[in-house]
Structure 1
Amino acid sequence: MVRFIFRVLFAAVGLWLAARLVPGISADGWQTLIFAGLLLGLVNAVVRPVVVVLTFPITLLSLGLFLLVVNAAMLGLVAWFLDGLVVRGLVPGILGAIIVGVVSWAGQVMIGDGKSD
């Protein structure tokens, strides 16, 4: 449960950083960011695997680059559900997804995967 909370917090920090760095992404406040991090985790767990399977041929042809579009779409879906989060277009979505992914990855490295060696 603690790892899940940290993952949500790292996603929220990534969204905050994306809102600060990427023109075209904005968020109202920390409550929106925390809820967006929670919703992004849910969307990535439920919707993203289905989309990845359905878009596998184009992902294969693009050597995996289409996954950036998939991640941007997941971020856009979260923004569509939340009034306080705005993603204005594909390019801000892709840049925001990259930032959120890097911050989440760095957080995962810091807290570990929960498996003992």
Structure 2
Amino acid sequence: MTLLIRLLINGVAIWLASEWVKGITIHGPDNTTSDKLLVIAIVAVIFTIVNALVKPIVKLLSLPLVILTLGLFLLVVNALMLWLTSKITETTSYQLHVDGFWAAVLGGIIISLVNWVLGILVPDRE
């Protein structure tokens, strides 16, 4: 149940990032509302998988830069995860398109903040 709620939170965060950041767009085969919801669901699943598998490795490898920049390099790591999700989904007809580095950084900040705020509402397994 917690995984489903986390996927829903990621979906809301990605949708808000696509609405608020000019360089982030969501594309599907049709322009219907149900098609957009399906695209957001697929992108949320891929984004969650990328964050679970790739992000810990990138954070470990970039640990010296994170320490040197007092944690600000984590914004770049979040942008890279969003960009990687964009590149993975662009191979399908359900796409998240991130146009440029600064759009990815802004989108990563928005997604992180929305995940943090909505994540407070989700209880831990403890």
TM-score category of the 2 structures, normalised to the smaller one: over 0.9
- Alpha-carbon distance in 2 for matches of 1:105, 1:5: 16
- Alpha-carbon distance in 2 for matches of 1:113, 1:95: 28
**Structure 1 residue 114, shift from structure 2 partner:** 2.6
- Alpha-carbon distance in 1 for matches of 2:62, 2:125: 31
Equivalent position of 1:23 in the other structure: 22
Instruction: Give identity over the alignment, percent.
Output: 36
| TM-score when normalising by structure 1 | 0.92
**Structure 1 residue 18, shift from structure 2 partner:** 0.5
* SS at structure 1 position matched to 2:25: strand
**Structure 1 residue 22, shift from structure 2 partner:** 0.4
**Structure 1 residue 49, shift from structure 2 partner:** 0.7
Question: In the alignment, which of 76, 80, 100 is matched to residue 69 of structure 1?
Answer: 76
Equivalent position of 1:53 in the other structure: 60
- Alpha-carbon distance in 1 for matches of 2:24, 2:89: 13
Q: Aligned-pair RMSD on alpha carbons?
A: 1.0
**Structure 1 residue 89, shift from structure 2 partner:** 1.1
Q: Which runs of 5+ in 2 are unaligned?
A: 28-35
Equivalent position of 2:85 in the other structure: 78
Contact 1:26 1:86 in 2 (8 A): yes
Equivalent position of 1:38 in the other structure: 45
Equivalent position of 2:103 in the other structure: 92
Greater helix content? 1
How many corresponding residue pairs?
A: 114
Q: Which runs of 5+ in 1 are unaligned?
A: none
1:13 aligns with 2:3: no
Q: Which runs of 4+ in 1 moved over 3 A?
A: none
* SS at structure 1 position matched to 2:40: helix
| TM-score when normalising by structure 2 | 0.86
- Alpha-carbon distance in 1 for matches of 2:38, 2:82: 17
Equivalent position of 2:122 in the other structure: 111
**Structure 1 residue 64, shift from structure 2 partner:** 0.7
- Alpha-carbon distance in 2 for matches of 1:30, 1:103: 18
